[in-house]
Amino acid sequence: MSKMMTSEEINTTTAPTGIFQRLLCWEGFLLAVTLAVFVVNAFASPYFLDIWNLSDATFNFTEKAIIVLPMAMLIIAREIDLSVASTIALSSTVMGFCAAAGVDTPLLVCVGLGVGLLCGLFNGLLVTRFNLSSIVITIGTMSLYRGITYILLGDQALNSYPESFAWLGQGYVWGALSFEFALFIVLAAVFAFVLHRTNFGRRTYAIGNNPTGAWYSGINVKRHNLLLFALVGLMSGLASVLLTSRLGSTRPTIAMGWELAVVTMAVLGGVNILGGSGSMVGVIIAAFLMGLVTFGLSLLNVPGIVMSVIIGAMLIVVISLPIITRRMMQRRRI
């Protein structure tokens, strides 16, 4: 006689398959929508399929997408950083003053990365050391970093950057392939490998599913989350370097509102806003999707405020849709 499986054995046996199938379905859906948006843009504008225009389209999302790679891991671990846009502004401001003092390009890059890293570490220390809510802390540091930027800059703009600095955000490595986009591809591959093929990634999922259980299983939850906050800050600093280089100037309003776009990319990519699940492949596809949407709208001369409305609507839909679907399925079972 065969042994009857317990409920725990059934859950252990079927849960990974269900999650895997759900992720594949969501990623497939995102890919289909992305292809549909690409086709619609091609028919809507005769300029869309030009190879250089497509290259320009990558500038609409590359810097945000670089930030969303570690942000996705942070959200999977049940934390969040809403200060990324302000971190970009503060990093850009410090770089601007250093450039005005005659600092050359390599040191400017180090300054931008260093300021971003320090901001991320500061966020992480406040959250992990004092057991505070990350959403509350990073809302506070969002205002703090942006406020420091306004105090330092006022209404002025800093644009004394060396000529070689411009290549980072405007240069091309081969044909129409920009340095920014090439860098994003490399980073996306690295983060996908780390999340899905290393112990660090497995610990991230374990913390997101059950922080207490992860702690008792020997995972240093606080140190792990501190590293994730530092990583988000570092990538925000890198985004600041690229964005400042592309714009050629620093203003106090730089990257204003980017935190919404970054979180939308992560959630649209299938990352559970409550933590514990998500796929880096879905996040990467979501970044391309949002880039195509915003670039297509810009070709049609849609105002930026309308794009913000669309991004906000996308965030509401992708957060509420799984919850509504789950409730409808539960009602059917009853």
Taking alpha carbons only, the member of 66, 64, 76 closest to residue 189 is 66
Could you tell me the pTM of the whole model? Answer: 0.88
Map out the domains of the chain as residue ranges: 27-333
- What pLDDT, on a 0 to 100 scale, did the predictor assign at position 136? 96
- What pLDDT, on a 0 to 100 scale, did the predictor assign at position 1? 37
- What pLDDT, on a 0 to 100 scale, did the predictor assign at position 7? 35
- What pLDDT, on a 0 to 100 scale, did the predictor assign at position 13? 35
Mean pLDDT over 50-69 rounds to 91
Amino acid letter, 89: A
- What pLDDT, on a 0 to 100 scale, did the predictor assign at position 46? 82
pLDDT (tens digit per residue) in 189-226: 999 999 999 999 999 999 999 999 999 999 999 999 99
CATH number of 27-333: 1.10.3470
Categorize the per-residue pLDDT at 49 as very low, low, confident or very high, splitting at 50, 70 and 90.
Answer: confident
- What pLDDT, on a 0 to 100 scale, did the predictor assign at position 334? 66
Dihedral angle computed from the Cα positions of residues 50, 181, 254 and 229, in that order, rounded to the nearest 10 degrees: 150
Answer yes or no: are the C-beta atoms of 227 and 165 closer than 8 Å.
no
pLDDT (tens digit per residue) in 16-40: 444 445 545 788 888 888 899 899 8
Structural tokens at position 59: 């500038």
Residue with tokens 């919404």, as numbered in its chain? 260
| Cβ-count burial 161-177 (b if 16+ within 10 Å, e if not) | beeebbebbbeeeeeee
Q: Is the pLDDT of residue 6 over 70?
A: no
Residue 32 buriedness (CB in 10 A; 0-12 / 13-18 / 19+):
exposed
Within 8 A by CB and 6+ apart from 243, the residues are: 63, 88, 92, 169, 254, 255
Least confident of 25-39, 132-146, 260-274, 294-308: 294-308
- What pLDDT, on a 0 to 100 scale, did the predictor assign at position 17? 42
- What pLDDT, on a 0 to 100 scale, did the predictor assign at position 177? 92
Categorize the per-residue pLDDT at 54 as very low, low, confident or very high, splitting at 50, 70 and 90.
Answer: confident
Answer yes or no: are the C-beta atoms of 79 and 273 closer than 8 Å.
no
